[in-house]
C-alpha cells in the first residue's frame, strides 16, 4: 500500500528493490549452496528486471523479499523511506 499526502509525498513507506538472478547464477548457487550462504560474493543479475515495490510496514516488506528470494530474485535493497510530513 502507498499512502500519498501533502501533494504526493510518500509517508511511512518501506521500499524493496529487487532484480532477477541470471540462470547461470541460480545454478551456481544450487551447486554450491553452503558456500553462497556463508560468503559475501557478487551476484549476476538481469539489469532489465530491476523493480521496486513499496509497503506500509517492515513485516510486509520482509515477507515479500523472502518470497522473491525463493523465486530466484536478488534483493538489492530494503529501505525505509519514511518522511515526516
pLDDT in tens, 45-62: 889 999 999 999 999 999
| 85 located within any domain | no
Better-scored residue on pLDDT, 1 or 80: 80
Residue 66 counted as domain residue: yes
- The average pLDDT across 74-83 equals 84
- Report yes or no on 26 lying in a domain: yes
- Per DSSP, the residues of the chain read ---EETTTEE-S-EEEEEEEBPHHHHHHHHHTHHHHHHS-----B-GGG-EEEEESSHHHHHHHHHHHHHTTEEEEEEEE-----
**Domain coverage including residue 70:** 4-80
Count of domains in the chain? 1
**pTM of this structure:** 0.68
Would 20 be classed as within a structural domain? yes
Amino acid at each position: 500500500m502507498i499512502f500519498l499526502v501533502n501533494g504526493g509525498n510518500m509517508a511511512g513507506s518501506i521500499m524493496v528493490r529487487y532484480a532477477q538472478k541470471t540462470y547461470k547464477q541460480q545454478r551456481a548457487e544450487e551447486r554450491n549452496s553452503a558456500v553462497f550462504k556463508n560468503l559475501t560474493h557478487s551476484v549476476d543479475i538481469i539489469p532489465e528486471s530491476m523493480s521496486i515495490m513499496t509497503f506500509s510496514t517492515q513485516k510486509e516488506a520482509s515477507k515479500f523479499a523472502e518470497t522473491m528470494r525463493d523465486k530466484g530474485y536478488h534483493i538489492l535493497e530494503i529501505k525505509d523511506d519514511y518522511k515526516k510530513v
